[in-house]
Amino acid sequence: MTDGQRRALGGLPPGARIRSLGHAGYEIEHAGVRLLIDPWFHPAFLASWFPFPDNRPLLASVAAASYDLLYLSHEHEDHFDAHTLGMLDRDATTVVVPRFRSKSLVRRVTQLGFRNVVALGHRERYEAADGFVLTMLLDTSHKEDSGLVVDLGGFRFLDLNDCNTPMSELPTDVDVLSAQYSGAMWYPNCYAYPDEVQRKKTAEIRGDLFDTLVRKVRLTGAAAYLPAAGPPCFLDPELERFNDRSATIFPVWDDLADDFAAACPDVAAVLLEPGDALTADGVAESADPARGTWRDSPQAYLAAYRERRAEEWGAYHDEAFEAVSAEELDAYFGKLTSWNKRFLADYQRDVRLVADGHTWSVRLAQVGGALEEDPVDAGYTIHVPSRALRAIVDGRIGWEEALLSLRLSLHRDPDVFDLTLMSLLRYGNHPAQTMQMVRERAEAASGESIERCGYSFQRFCPHAGEDLALADIDGEVLECPRHHWKWDLRTGECVSGGTVPLRVDAAQPG
């Protein structure tokens, strides 16, 4: 425990405790209230992600505990672990969830048997007890994710996990911030790039993630930062390459600690191992004899972990399944495109799907779905294992989860992000989200403008709604602080990241 850490935690009320459960999971106790956050213990995304370090030794105590409150930030399986949730006392626990446009999260919580569910909108508060207050923060774009401010007698813990609340909406008086620092995406590591291109793109994304983290830390005024919400590890030998911490977007905190100390010298970074807890006296370390042993020999640690969970990752390969037929695939895309008719509007591209030797061209331009033998204009080719395609077509998972499994590989030509296609795949099974994108497009055409550096342009990023009031402007190029897309402010043309233009108003500097 350093002096900086001690100072940063000094305001935590006596008796209060913030205990890490690994990944984005926490258990917080204060004022007689016990809150559980995003407990994740079982494999996610087609049995590909596992918590790192292994947190399973904590599961029995979590399942046996009684919680007054449970907060679930969003539906991704590394936050919404249905297996673990099914082990909790569902009568005694009040579940606090974000109020998303799609009602899916509330529905799933209710289906699990929880009776008391409180859905909070952006900035809405829930007072659990005197001195224990929760405030919900949403990603206010079409994306459905949330963070939570937990006020413990004036000490403010902000759990941002992997949520991107617009930066201008973040609280500025935070004591401890918990947020993601590593990637949680399939880009670029699942794309078929030559090695040198892959290295360059990986380095860019790692740099962007770090920059975004530093901005969040500075904006929130946090005195201490808890690295959290990743990276996971991948125990299926098929996915071994994603455990390479230097060649992927999944670094461990030790890789970034020095850069962080240089960028934020007054902020105490406190890496909690599963079971460690913050208290007013400092960090109370877990008594688990395996605590921190992953550092001794990461490869040996992962080999032993893989062995312990062989049945769990092996289940993906063992499950019997039937390959998807052309008729089923046609019906699937027919439904997806008809649900998203307004979103697709005049979209004209095809996507080529390759599943274990079968190739299909899906004509997304034709609402109702149509498969062709030969692609006409397939900008994207997606290789998907047949068993994953079966799970998608049966509705057991969406494309978002399949992509996050890293079991798919992609190729695109030209090498440009296709926002419509990827949004259709990621959000199309929740049309409330794609309809919000339709509204965002309309707002982009006529919504709020801001003036900066002599330019007038739309205030919220046309990619995913970040507040461009905080964007960097270098000459005539604007860079969004969230995913670092860039636009030419003279024309509105997107010059890096994607193809979606920025609305630039007529009045320009003289």
Residue numbers at the binding site for ligand FES (CB under 6 A)? 461, 463-466, 480, 482-483, 485, 497
When the beta carbons of 25 and 497 are compared against ligand FES, the nearer one is 497
Extract the tokens encoding 252. Answer: 């461990």
Please, what is the Cα angle at 324 between 321 and 328, to 5 degrees? 130
455-458/472-474 β-pairing = unpaired
Query: Minimal distance in Å, beta carbon 422 to ligand FES?
Result: 12
When the beta carbons of 425 and 494 are compared against ligand FES, the nearer one is 494
Burial degree of 64 (CB within 10 A; 0-12, 13-18, 19+):
exposed
When the beta carbons of 166 and 275 are compared against ligand FES, the nearer one is 166
Query: Minimal distance in Å, beta carbon 471 to ligand FES?
Result: 8
Query: Minimal distance in Å, beta carbon 491 to ligand FES?
Result: 17
3 state SS of 15? coil
Characterise 362 by phi-psi region: left (phi > 0), alpha (psi -120 to 50), beta (else). beta
3 state SS of 300? helix
Query: Minimal distance in Å, beta carbon 479 to ligand FES?
Result: 8
When the beta carbons of 183 and 497 are compared against ligand FES, the nearer one is 497
Query: Minimal distance in Å, beta carbon 477 to ligand FES?
Result: 13
Query: Minimal distance in Å, beta carbon 137 to ligand FES?
Result: 16
Query: Minimal distance in Å, beta carbon 480 to ligand FES?
Result: 3
Sign of torsion, CA 420 421 422 424? positive
- CA dist 166 and 482 (Å) reads 8
Instruction: Tell me the C-alpha to C-alpha distance, in Å, between residue 497 and each of 431, 459, 487, 494.
Output: 25, 18, 9, 7
Query: Minimal distance in Å, beta carbon 70 to ligand FES?
Result: 29
When the beta carbons of 363 and 486 are compared against ligand FES, the nearer one is 486
> Over 445-484, what HEC string results?
HHCCEEEECCEEEECECCCCCCEHHHCEEECCEEECCCCC
When the beta carbons of 407 and 483 are compared against ligand FES, the nearer one is 483
When the beta carbons of 48 and 434 are compared against ligand FES, the nearer one is 434
When the beta carbons of 323 and 442 are compared against ligand FES, the nearer one is 442
Exposure b/e, 399-413, CB count within 10 A at least 16 = b: bbbbbbbbbbbbbbe
Tell me phi and psi for residue 360, to 5 degrees.
-130, 140
